[in-house]
């Protein structure tokens, strides 16, 4: 008999095909459901496994009501802020995420945000959608060239390194901060600056690739933005909580920052609408991993974790051990 699975969110077609082949699942293509319906379906189908996404608030209360026959809950995301891992651990429920597979996709989007912010892509698009019909003077609507600029990377993990690789193709001079210096083969000539505040004045473009601070305090506050050179460009495709958005709005309005590219916000999807009133920002709806290839890989990774646990093996990406 095939293992029984509940999927609480729509998933890419290729993942649905695998679920249909390997699992007994009432909606292999996934169906958007809330916690109450999820709990009902888990009980009704006597499910062995559960696949969720960051959409599902997997609180201690919800975890406490998961039936005992459910042997693993896999989230189809790299982030797991929506899951109470301690509660899952307390009741012995393995929970997993999908790291690694987002690296290239996120790094691509980061470079895209650097380019679209520097080159004023939002304003250019608005001109086109309004019908254009006039040429520009040679000093009009000029952007910032990316090539040869100094790029600061906050957090030189897998994604930070992938961003650095791409940025070198644009002749960017890379400096970074992290808890510790990387090996030379990872650095590839990038300059290590241990202190964020010492890094900031040396960045024409700054991109964040750090996890959220445990105390929830924003890394980028008014003081930090003030330390960037005038005309700098700020990019965040990592975490909204890293930024004091009031300070970012002020820096964009005053012109201290030339532009920003933002894929994440403190509150999603109810982000601060004042960003949408600014011309010098490029805004995307948390789509760093939004490619068919990557979302498929994420779904497959979640299924790999589920298959491992159901076969009696340890999960590949456990969130608690």
Residues 4-33 that bind other proteins (CB under 8 A): 9-12, 30, 32
Binding other proteins by CB under 8 A: which of 41, 96, 97, 116? 116
CB 51 within 8 A of CB 301: no
Least distance in Å: CB of 221 to other proteins? 24
Active site residue 277: no
- Rounded Cα gap, residues 157 and 153, in angstroms: 10
- Does the footprint of other proteins cover residue 287 (CB under 8 A)? yes
Binding other proteins by CB under 8 A: which of 92, 184, 269, 312? 269
- Rounded Cα gap, residues 259 and 231, in angstroms: 8
Using the contact rule CB under 8 A, the part of the chain among 150-158, 186-194, 210-218, 282-290 near other proteins is: 282-290
- Rounded Cα gap, residues 57 and 83, in angstroms: 7
Of the candidates 98, 92, 40, the one whose C-alpha atom is nearest the C-alpha of residue 64 is 92
Using the contact rule CB under 8 A, the part of the chain among 125-133, 150-158, 211-219, 232-240 near other proteins is: 125-133
- Does the footprint of other proteins cover residue 134 (CB under 8 A)? yes
Question: Please, is 120 exposed, middle or buried when counting C-beta atoms within 10 Å of its C-beta (0-12, 13-18, 19+)?
Answer: buried
Using the contact rule CB under 8 A, the part of the chain among 114-122, 178-186, 213-221, 308-316 near other proteins is: 114-122
Ramachandran area for residue 133 (φ above 0: left; ψ -120 to 50: alpha; else beta):
left
- Does the footprint of other proteins cover residue 58 (CB under 8 A)? no
Least distance in Å: CB of 57 to other proteins? 12
Identify the active-site residue in 209, 239, 295, 301. Answer: 239
- Rounded Cα gap, residues 239 and 257, in angstroms: 19
SS3 306: helix
CB 82 within 8 A of CB 103: no
Task: Name which of residues 222 to 251 contact other proteins (CB under 8 A).
Answer: none
- Rounded Cα gap, residues 89 and 73, in angstroms: 12
Binding other proteins by CB under 8 A: which of 92, 135, 184, 214? 135
Least distance in Å: CB of 172 to other proteins? 10
- Does the footprint of other proteins cover residue 301 (CB under 8 A)? no
Active site residue 273: no
CB 157 within 8 A of CB 179: no
Binding other proteins by CB under 8 A: which of 27, 170, 192, 320? 170
Give whichever of 169 and 214 is closer to other proteins, judged by the CB atom: 169
CB 219 within 8 A of CB 243: yes
- Does the footprint of other proteins cover residue 189 (CB under 8 A)? no
Active site residue 181: no
Binding other proteins by CB under 8 A: which of 88, 146, 248, 249? 146
Binding other proteins by CB under 8 A: which of 28, 155, 240, 299? 299
- Residue-by-residue DSSP string for 248-271: HHHHHHHTSEEEEEES--SSSSS-
């Amino acid at each position: 008999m095939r293992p029984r699975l509940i999927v609480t969110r729509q998933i890419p077609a290729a993942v649905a095909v695998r679920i249909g082949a390997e699992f007994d699942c009432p909606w292999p293509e996934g169906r958007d459901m809330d916690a109450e319906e999820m709990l009902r379906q888990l009980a009704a189908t006597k499910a062995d496994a559960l696949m969720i996404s960051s959409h599902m608030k997997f609180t201690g209360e919800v975890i406490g009501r998961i039936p005992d026959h459910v042997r693993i809950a896999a989230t189809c995301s790299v982030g797991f802020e929506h899951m109470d891992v301690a509660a899952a651990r307390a009741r012995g429920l393995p929970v997993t995420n999908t790291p690694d597979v987002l690296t290239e996709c996120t790094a691509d989007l980061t470079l895209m945000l650097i380019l679209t912010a520097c080159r004023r892509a939002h304003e250019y698009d608005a001109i086109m959608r309004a019908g254009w019909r006039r040429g520009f003077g040679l000093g009009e609507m000029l952007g910032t060239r990316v090539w040869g600029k100094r790029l600061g990377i906050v957090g030189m993990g897998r994604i930070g390194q992938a961003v650095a690789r791409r940025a070198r193709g644009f002749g960017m001079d890379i400096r970074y901060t992290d808890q510790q210096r990387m090996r030379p083969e990872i650095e590839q000539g990038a300059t290590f600056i241990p202190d964020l505040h010492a890094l900031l004045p040396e960045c024409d473009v700054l991109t964040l690739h750090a996890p959220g601070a445990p105390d929830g305090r924003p890394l980028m506050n008014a003081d930090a933005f003030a330390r960037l050179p005038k005309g700098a460009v700020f990019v965040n495709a990592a975490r909204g909580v890293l930024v004091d958005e009031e300070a970012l709005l002020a820096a964009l309005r005053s012109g201290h920052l030339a532009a920003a590219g933002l894929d994440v916000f403190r509150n999603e999807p109810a982000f601060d609408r004042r960003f949408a009133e600014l011309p010098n920002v490029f805004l995307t709806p948390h789509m760093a991993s939004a490619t068919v290839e990557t979302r498929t890989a994420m779904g497959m990774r979640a299924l790999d974790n589920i298959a491992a646990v159901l076969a009696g093996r340890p999960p590949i990406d456990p969130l608690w051990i």
